[in-house]
Amino acid sequence: MKIIGYKLGKLRVPLVTPFKTALRNVDHVEDIVIMIETDTGHVGYGAAPATAVITGDTHGSIIDAIRNYIMPMVTGMEVSQLNQINEIIGEALINNFSAKAAVEIAVYDLFAQAHGVPLYKMLGGGQPRIASDITISVDYIDKMVADSIRAADAGYETLKIKVGKDLGVDIKRVKAIYAAVKDRCLLRLDANQGWTARETVAALHELESSGIELELIEQPVKGADLKGMKYITERVRTPVMADESTFGPREVIELIQMGAADIINIKLMKTGGLSDAIKIADIAKIYDVKCMIGCMLESSISVTAAAHLAVAKSSVITKVDLDGPALCQFNPVTGGATFRGPDIELNETPGLGIEAIENLIPLD
């Protein structure tokens, strides 16, 4: 199976409600989709969103990186040369992790198709069912409480609460949500780099002393502030999870050896695809550190790939935050993973199992 070409498209899917964090407000998922073509007629699917405030990637940079740097270097190669293709993608240009992720996902899709098995089996196998949390966007307290109750009624057992805009109000938000759903849901906090280290410690001490039990606090300080992450980890009972502080394997090793986090959040759009995500999971396994599989605001194309990884590495990826498709008004993808509320189920179709994508706008 040889790579002979590719097509690009843009996918735009409206959200059920606006997605609000300390960094941005969004009302649509917008992905750049790549379809890699082969001489056997098989097509590999990958996708990436623009997340300029986190990875630095825009739609324009993703398209340019794929068109002018990555695909010219891998076109003509045999899909069986997976490791070599991954090295070429990684070295094609500096950073541009989301563009690399989109292409890698499509190549892994083809690699599994070539062997006639679903991707999770190529990555090691497992039980093809996982359950995700759902994000509660930062908003007025009454709105966040209502959204949390609605999520609990829909069967979600874990909620990720967005905070990080105003420390005092954030504490009130968490207390109100905890009072409303504490017997039904676990709570994860995501401050999106919105607090300082001292603010985080003060906030968690107050919440902890109030009897509020949180599953974790995610990336409360700036991604580059590893000392701040370590300061927090050493002073609170709540487990601290690194997100923007860790993009690749080297950063994960440094963070773990510093004792600057208890949990690592793996996102394909940060790691540049599946190959480095696999390395991170294996490194965390060696150090006996647990991981979460997360996503940006993405469609089910790339989230399906992340779900396959989570299934195959379930001994170390013990937490799932793959709610992007659940936040959308509809799923434009035929095939791939099935998303029903918190439940994600993989099918047994080779590769990612994607058959078609509706509403895809071709990019010439």
What are the start-end ranges of the H helices in 115-140? Answer: 119-122
Q: What long-range pairs does 69-77 form, CB within 8 A, spacing at least 24?
A: 69/93, 69/96, 70/99, 70/100, 70/103, 71/6, 71/103, 74/3, 74/103, 74/107, 75/3, 75/4, 75/5, 75/6, 76/2, 76/3, 76/4, 77/2, 77/3
**Catalytic residue flag (residue 267):** yes
Q: What is the DSSP string of 228-263?
A: HHHHHHTT-SS-EEESTT-SSHHHHHHHHHHT--SE
Question: Which two three-digit tokens encode residue 138?
Answer: 């930062």
Instruction: Confirm if 31 and 49 have CB atoms less than 8 A apart.
Output: yes
Residue 135 assigned as binding residue: yes
**Catalytic residue flag (residue 162):** yes
CA torsion sign for 109, 111, 117, 122 is negative
The phi, psi pair for 320, rounded to 5°, reads -125, 125
3-20, strands of its sheet edge to edge? 43-49, 25-38, 3-20, 361-363
Residue 139 assigned as binding residue: no
Instruction: Confirm if 18 and 31 have CB atoms less than 8 A apart.
Output: no
User: Which of 100, 121, 267, 319 does the annotation list as catalytic?
Assistant: 267
SS3 assignment, position 337: coil
Distance CA(94)–CA(248), nearest Å, equals: 13
Residue 321 assigned as binding residue: yes
Q: How buried is residue 220: exposed, middle or buried, by Cβ count under 10 Å (0-12/13-18/19+)?
A: buried
What is the number of other CB atoms lying within 10 angstroms of the CB of residue 341?
14
Residue 343 assigned as binding residue: no
Residue 319 assigned as binding residue: no
Among 218, 136, 217, residue whose Cα is nearest residue 181: 136
Instruction: Confirm if 116 and 40 have CB atoms less than 8 A apart.
Output: no
User: Which of 20, 100, 162, 270 does the annotation list as catalytic?
Assistant: 162
Residue 297 assigned as binding residue: yes
Residue 170 assigned as binding residue: no
| CA 75 remoteness from chain centre | 27
Residue 133 assigned as binding residue: no
Distance CA(352)–CA(337), nearest Å, equals: 8
Task: Tell me which residues are annotated as active site.
Answer: 162, 267
Could you tell me which residues are annotated as the binding site? 24, 135, 160, 190, 218, 243, 295, 297, 321, 323
Residue ranges at the known binding site for substrate: 24, 135, 160, 295, 297, 321, 323
- Please enumerate, by residue number, every residue annotated as part of a binding site for Mg(2+): 190, 218, 243
